[in-house]
Amino acid sequence: MKIDVLPDAESVAEAAARLVAGEARAAVAERGRFTFAVSGGSTPRRMLRFLSGEDLPWKAIHVFQVDERVAPDGDTDRNLTHLREALLSRVDLPAANLHVMPVGREDLVGAAAAYAHDLATTTGGEGVLDLVHLGLGTDGHTASLVPGDLALAVKDADVAVTGAYAGRRRMTLTYPALDRARRILWVVTGAGKAPVLPRLAAGDPSIPAGRVRADRAVMLVDAAAAASLVGT
């Protein structure tokens, strides 16, 4: 995994947006489309705002969600709420190119299967995303793959429903979907991440984040989060 340490969260967000934009242009030029899955969090919101200022072929870009809380549309707990504010309200992304996790359905398991089908169909049947953005929780979780949850063991589906975590059930991409991505972008900021970041960097399988495939990954991290990394 390639790790770049930058001075602060703003620098990380700006660099992340530039990387996403570069990947988008290259994918559209090579394959005619760019499929991008984004996680929630405060630093990604900064990244998405910077991304909204990039001159990109939005009609050829498809935005997926890495994970989502089971909450009503418009709720501040929803990652979609912040995705709309930070990016979607600022760019000309066609409505059909936004792929929202259907967490409002009564049958969540069926909804997860439907989202997996949408992912496969949009990517030409392969389920291969061009870029997946991931964050890191202080407990070592990423996406909504959290310690002790049954979704950690899912190998035969690209999307799963979790148990309650921090008061909400979640829908999340699984390890198979993450590991097939052409590129994984980790965006990690804040001193609270410093204790767990070396475990991610070392591929420690005892934390959920450490189980994600590392050979196609790049990590952008601020100085505060990197404080415990050897050699920084």
Please, which pLDDT band fits residue 26 given cuts at 50, 70 and 90? very high
Please, which pLDDT band fits residue 232 given cuts at 50, 70 and 90? low
Task: Work out the burial of residue 92: count CB atoms within 10 Å of its CB; fewer than 13 is exposed, 13-18 middle, 19 or more buried.
Answer: exposed
Amino acid at 160: A
Evaluate whether the domain defined by 2-228 bears CATH number 3.40.50.1360.
yes
- Say whether 100 sits in a helix, a strand or coil: coil
Q: What is the pLDDT of residue 90?
A: 96
Q: How far is CA 167 from the centre of its chain?
A: 21
Decide if pLDDT at 231 tops 70. no
The model's pLDDT over 111-168, given as tens digits with 9 standing for 90+, comes to 999 999 999 999 998 899 999 999 999 999 999 999 999 999 999 999 999 999 999 9
